[in-house]
Amino acid sequence: MKKYLFLFTMTFGVIFFYRKCNGMFLSHQTIEKYIDNGCIVVGPCFDKNNIRPVGIRMHLGKDILVPYPDQIVDLTQAQDLRYKKVDLSKEEFYLEPGQFVLGSTYETIQTAPHILAILDGRSTIARLGLTTHITASIIDGTFKVPHSATLELKNVGNFRIRLKEKDPIAMMLFAELKEPVTQNLQSQYSQQLTVAPPNLQFKTGQDK
């Protein structure tokens, strides 16, 4: 019951955001136009066959981080968590039921300040019980260079799922804001080109 409630919450969040934006998600025609004129930058080598009706197909990057068990986290204290780094191009990895790992997209994304990117799942992946993000789906247009998106991967299903480099694992949707973002970027993840752990050294609100 909990896993279905979790999936419903993520889906409802996207629907709620859509309504708040007055339906300004971009269709494939506008996405392709914005890629051509540089409002949306997708690297390192984007194939336009991955443009779908209302988004672009995203693939799994080669590295994942597997957290070591039995660690205690204090959200108010700076600390470095311990992970095992797995290179999917060199070794097999199976995500077990109930297991959580961090990954990143193979593609890097940069958008103009008036374009918001929203990470979402794919239907086939969801039917296997594999989540691609846990509530953190928003990528704003304040990044100065293209960067990868973090994938919070959890197997809430019953299958052992083999993860491979460049698996087509997620979708990236785009919405157009009424006004461009003018705030400066908080810098804790500004240079992210591969999977990165949570930055508990960063103090929220003190980096403007």
Domain boundaries, the chain: 2-69+80-177
The rounded mean pLDDT for the chain is 84
Please state which CATH number belongs to domain 2-69+80-177: 2.70.40.10
Residue 40 in this model has a pLDDT that exceeds 60: yes
Q: Quick check: bond before 168 cis, omega within 30? A: no
Confidence of residue 50 (pLDDT cuts 50, 70, 90): very high
Residue 85 pLDDT level (bands cut at 50, 70, 90):
very high
Burial degree of 95 (CB within 10 A; 0-12, 13-18, 19+)? buried
152 is a catalytic site residue: yes
- Catalytic pick from 96, 152, 165, 179? 152
Bridge partner list, 112: none
Question: Which of 89, 197, 97, 201 minimizes the C-alpha distance to 152?
Answer: 197
**How far is the C-alpha of 7 from the C-alpha of 188, rounded, in Å?**
28
Q: Where does the pLDDT of residue 78 fall: very low under 50, low under 70, confident under 90, or very high at 90 and above?
A: confident
Q: Is the pLDDT of residue 23 over 80?
A: no
The residue with greater pLDDT, 109 or 143, is 109
CB count within 10 Å of CB 155 equals: 21
Say what the pLDDT of residue 192 is: 65
Q: What is the pLDDT of residue 16?
A: 47
List, in sequence order, the alpha helices (H) in 47-175: 123-127
What's the confidence (pLDDT) of residue 46?
A: 93
Task: Note the pLDDT tens digit of each residue in 5-22.
Answer: 444 444 445 444 444 445
Q: Which amino acid is at 161?
A: I
Which of 40-49, 55-64, 144-153, 199-208 has the weakest average pLDDT?
199-208
Using a pLDDT cut of 70, give the percent of the chain over it: 80
Q: Residue 2's pLDDT band (boundaries 50, 70, 90)?
A: very low
Report pLDDT for 77: 83
